[in-house]
Structure 1
Amino acid sequence: MSKVAFLFPGQGSQHAGMGKDMYEKHGKTKELIDEADETLDHPLSGLMFNGPEDHLKKTENAQPALLTASIAAFELLKEKGVTPDYTAGHSLGEYSALVGSGVLSFTNALTVVRQRGLFMEEAVPSGVGAMSAIMGIERAELETLTDRVARDGEIVQLANLNAPGQIVISGAKSAVEKVEDLARENGAKRVIPLEVSGPFHSKLMQPAQDKLESVLEPVPFSEAEVPVIANVNAKETTDASIIKNQLVQQVTSPVYWEDTIRRLLELGVTTFVEVGPGNVLSGLVRRVQRRGVDVYSAQDIESIEKVVENLK
């Protein structure tokens, strides 16, 4: 029988209006989002529903908002009888995956990601770091270019290995710009500097990683009811202590997303459901595997109903 993976989106998929129709039409979603407002002592729902976008995209707001919208969609799918065999989440989305797999409670995850977002915002002064998407160069070749620049003492590395020929680099702004130039010289099809508030998933995030480790230490983690594929190594686990350690490492480690999708395919997954705002991850699945898979988006009542209709 076909296996199902739930994929949870990361920062960048947030948008004003997310979760609003579920909040207005589904009582349990309203309770969940009201709980988020109360837990954070902050009107998160107002930002989710109305923006403004410049406030919503701030890391400390985007991360809890995405978690909340994603878990709202997850709970509605679960209520309708659609559950996964595996979960995975892209960067911030890994926290949503852990809630979905029963490792973290929603309120604990919400508190942690709010702090995580603040730590990431504070880790590097504005303008010091950068990220850039490099299209059309394969992993080994791009890693050779980042290593060449890093040998001069500057920090730059592969950050998000999203799909074949679609990789994000991260690090010091000057080093990222050097790699951009080298990538163009070596045949990159596109180089896209990203509008981000910091050099995420690079060694420059070490201060944020250290603070997050202290925050996570007392937080209770349960054994996963559904195996989770980790960002840091694209391997499945249910072990609570391993998962906690991997979440700490994740702050400065690359996100091995292409490898995650390939591992899920090896495990027999042929149905992928992106649970939460946007369709970025759905597109990445199709870049990794074009044939023989079904890919769905579940982000509002209409799309969730379509998923239920197709999978039940």
Structure 2
Amino acid sequence: MPLAILCSGQAHQGPDMFALTADAPVAQLLFSLASALLGGRDPRRMVLEADATTLQANRTGQILCVLQGLAAAATLADVMPDSFIVAGYSIGELTAWGVAAAIAPADVLRLAAERAELMDAASRPGEGLLALRGLDEVRIAQLATEHDAAVAIVNPGGGVILGGSANALSALSADAVSAGAYRVVRLPVAVASHTPRLADAARQFRIDLAGTTIDTRALRRHRLLSGIDGQAVFDPDAGLDKLAAQISRTVHWNACLQACLEAGATAFLELGPGHALAEMAAGAYCMPARSISEFAAMEGVRAWVKTR
């Protein structure tokens, strides 16, 4: 499996996110399905007309990000290899189940909306996420404990995302800078994703997932990775347990990328929005890593995929 597909998380929603997929015939049904979940607004017009606050809202953002990944995958389906590796970052893990064809696209979009609603209901005002780089694991753990925060995501190269209340993240930011962190950035996400604060949402989402139809053939054909540990999903129930659990547990994205490499990946393609995952992969491993957002037209992406 030489190609690893990376499904993006939130934070990079913007006017150009559907530039390569908006007119693709195979993606039209997906845009219609998403529109129904967005109060009848066409997502292609929405990203052009809405302000950043609207696009970064948790429910809207999760739907848009899942839609982008599914639309890109549908547009590339006829040039994709018969088998590939697929992993998703945060909400991107749900996208990955759709890209692998383990869950039908309509169900993936519906579940994205339900997931966001559950997370919003379990959250308190002011909670969010903070990106940090430049400190070792021990010091990060100490800061998290001192400020009642939690490690939400572990990225390659020592980067982490922490979740907590607004006051906690503000104080943690100041202490991290004093301790020598060279990158401390509050992310445009209004929930403390992947922390114990969302345990109730994780439990409820597992109940929602219980009625989902899973195509087990897809799990044998592709290598779908679980975000909390980078392990391949072979058993659907165990995989859904982890998919729900990651709402309130740390996502080990470093383990996911390493698992891609161990499964034989020689190139990475991020479906977007954004190119953060491709940059992480390129920085961690000396192999081709691209995002579709880097291409001027889908034909360029298709040509690149054909060479993998």
Sequence identity (%): 21
The residue number in structure 2 matching 1:162 is 155
The residue number in structure 1 matching 2:248 is 252
Q: 2:288 aligns with which of 267, 274, 294?
A: 294
How far residue 83 of structure 1 moved from its aligned partner, in angstroms, is: 5.6
Q: 1:220 aligns with which of 213, 219, 225?
A: 213
After superposing the two structures, state which structure 1 stretch, 114-123 or 175-184, moved more.
175-184
Letter in 2 for 1:22: T
Q: 2:301 aligns with which of 300, 304, 307?
A: 307
Q: Is the 8 A contact 1:297 1:304 kept in 2?
A: no
- Counterpart CA distance in 1 for 2:156 and 2:40 is 36
Q: 1:285 aligns with which of 278, 281, 298?
A: 281
Q: Is the 8 A contact 2:20 2:297 kept in 1?
A: no
TM-score, normalising length from structure 2? 0.89
The residue number in structure 2 matching 1:55 is 54
The residue number in structure 1 matching 2:264 is 268
How far residue 15 of structure 1 moved from its aligned partner, in angstroms, is: 1.1
Q: Is the 8 A contact 1:296 1:307 kept in 2?
A: no
Q: Do the aligned partners of residues 34 and 212 (structure 1) sit closer, same or farther apart at CA in structure 2, a change above 3 Å counting?
A: same
Which structure 2 residues correspond to residues 95-106 of structure 1 after superposition, within 5 A? Answer: 95-106=94-105
Question: Which deviations, in whole Å up to 9, do the C-alpha atoms of 1:270-295 show, x marking residues without a partner?
Answer: 10000132111111112222x2x111
- Counterpart CA distance in 2 for 1:182 and 1:41 is 42
The residue number in structure 2 matching 1:125 is 124
The residue number in structure 2 matching 1:180 is 173
After superposing the two structures, state which structure 1 stretch, 193-202 or 80-89, moved more.
80-89
- Counterpart CA distance in 1 for 2:207 and 2:227 is 20
How far residue 146 of structure 1 moved from its aligned partner, in angstroms, is: 1.9
Secondary structure of the 1:251 match is: coil
Q: Is the 8 A contact 2:295 2:301 kept in 1?
A: no
- Counterpart CA distance in 2 for 1:61 and 1:86 is 27
Question: Which deviations, in whole Å up to 9, do the C-alpha atoms of 1:241-294 show, x marking residues without a partner?
Answer: 1111011101011111112111211222110000132111111112222x2x11
- Which segments of 5 or more consecutive residues in structure 1 lack a partner in the other structure? none
Secondary structure of the 1:179 match is: helix
Question: Which deviations, in whole Å up to 9, do the C-alpha atoms of 1:11-63 show, x marking residues without a partner?
Answer: 11211242245323x21122321233246653242324433332121111111
How far residue 206 of structure 1 moved from its aligned partner, in angstroms, is: 1.8
Letter in 1 for 2:125: S
Q: Is the 8 A contact 1:258 1:288 kept in 2?
A: no
TM-score, normalising length from structure 1? 0.88
- Counterpart CA distance in 1 for 2:77 and 2:231 is 24
The residue number in structure 1 matching 2:77 is 78
Q: Do the aligned partners of residues 200 and 288 (structure 1) sit closer, same or farther apart at CA in structure 2, a change above 3 Å counting?
A: same
- Which segments of 5 or more consecutive residues in structure 2 lack a partner in the other structure? none
- Counterpart CA distance in 2 for 1:17 and 1:65 is 12
The residue number in structure 2 matching 1:243 is 239
Letter in 1 for 2:25: G
Q: Is the 8 A contact 1:77 1:83 kept in 2?
A: no
How far residue 221 of structure 1 moved from its aligned partner, in angstroms, is: 2.2
In angstroms, what is the RMSD of aligned CA positions?
Answer: 2.2
Q: Is the 8 A contact 1:205 1:252 kept in 2?
A: yes
